[in-house]
Structure 1
Amino acid sequence: MNKQNIIEKLSLVKHIEGGYFKETYRSDLTVNTDREGGERKLLTSIYYLLTDDHPINHFHKNESDVIHYFHIGSPITYLIVDPQGKLSKFKLGFDVAKGHTPQLLVPKDCWKAAILEEGEFGLLGESVAPGFEYQDMEIAKPDSFKASFPNLWDELSPYIKQ
């Protein structure tokens, strides 16, 4: 199996954050929130693919918790910056002997980026609760990210969408 097979078989399309995706589930159940619009689906889920020609999921943050599940391919490195500016790094993959984790929670309001550092592709799944809505996601802007995290800028600027 190669990246093109996966893109075609799973009907993936390009995502604005980078990589490819397809929504696979949107709950019929809803939950009331304090966000604009108030009501959100209880849970959503997607496939997400990074490839050697689209290896970066650029920094963004969500107003919901997101759980990432590794499926197949090469491991994916996650960079997470919490609201206080603490940077954490995780490797999503199956080789737990090398420190990989097959599942990763990214709490709401944390900035995150994902990078395929080697290999042709890495396929994962994501579940979002309350469910994902584009209005609840913010893509990092270079000037404000640099102002908020000046000590991290040199290391993280390659993963900010320009």
Structure 2
Amino acid sequence: MIQRKPNATDVIAALNLEPHIEGGYYRRTYQADHRACLETQQGPRYLLTSIYYLLTEQSPAGQFHFNQSDILHYFQLGDAIEYNLIHADGSLQTLVMGSDVLAGQQLQLHVPGGIWKASRLLEGSNGFGLISEAVSPGFDFADMEIGNRAKLTAQFSQHGALIEKLTRDDGRGL
């Protein structure tokens, strides 16, 4: 029996993913609801949450956003995904998650809370890239800020072209 390679539509259906506000698709797969919540400045949070996150040719970027929590990203399958991180001091770090570890692609990526982050699908033969994320303290939309193009450009003018490419004027997902 010949198995065909999955496409983005297959993966979205198989994993029951839905559109994410920052772009791409996601589904929460875990929350540590069997443990006591952590008290944060924003209120109680699960100790840990986890999601699937998918970028596709039709939704190829996760726009710049800021999270309070630390996030561990794990590459799962498909095409490589480029991450752009803008640190508080304005420095830019660009990394690629993917399966080609011999070419320097990473299978895991840690993004500390408090860093502006954007991702984009690199062109490949699959038409999608799938990662998982583990977030601690657990993710809550109240702890996330979608990047405002004007505000980010004013704060990090040296990265204006990249910010222009990976944000929307209205602050919604790409």
Please name the residue that 1:138 is paired with. 145
Q: How far has the Cα of 1:55 moved from its partner?
A: 0.2
- TM-score relative to the length of structure 1: 0.96
Supply the RMSD in Å over aligned alpha carbons.
Answer: 0.8
Letter aligned with residue 138 of structure 1: E
Could you list the runs of 5+ residues in structure 1 that have no partner in the other structure?
Answer: none
Between the aligned residues of both structures, percent identity stands at: 43
- TM-score relative to the length of structure 2: 0.90
| 1:81 maps to 2:93 | no
Q: How far has the Cα of 1:160 moved from its partner?
A: 1.1
Please name the residue that 2:70 is paired with. 65
- 1:77 and 1:116 in contact (8 A); partners too: yes
Cα distance in 2, alignment partners of residues 64 and 12 from structure 1: 22
Cα distance in 2, alignment partners of residues 103 and 42 from structure 1: 20
SS at structure 2 position matched to 1:4: helix
Displacement over 3 Å in runs of 4+: none
| 1:18 maps to 2:23 | yes
* Deviation sequence 1:88-120 (CA, Å, 0-9, x none): 000001111111000000110100000002130
* Deviation sequence 1:35-68 (CA, Å, 0-9, x none): 222x110000000000011100000010000111
Could you list the runs of 5+ residues in structure 2 that have no partner in the other structure?
Answer: 1-5, 170-174
* Deviation sequence 1:118-158 (CA, Å, 0-9, x none): 13000000010000000000000011101110111123310
- 1:59 and 1:161 in contact (8 A); partners too: no
- How many residues align structurally? 160
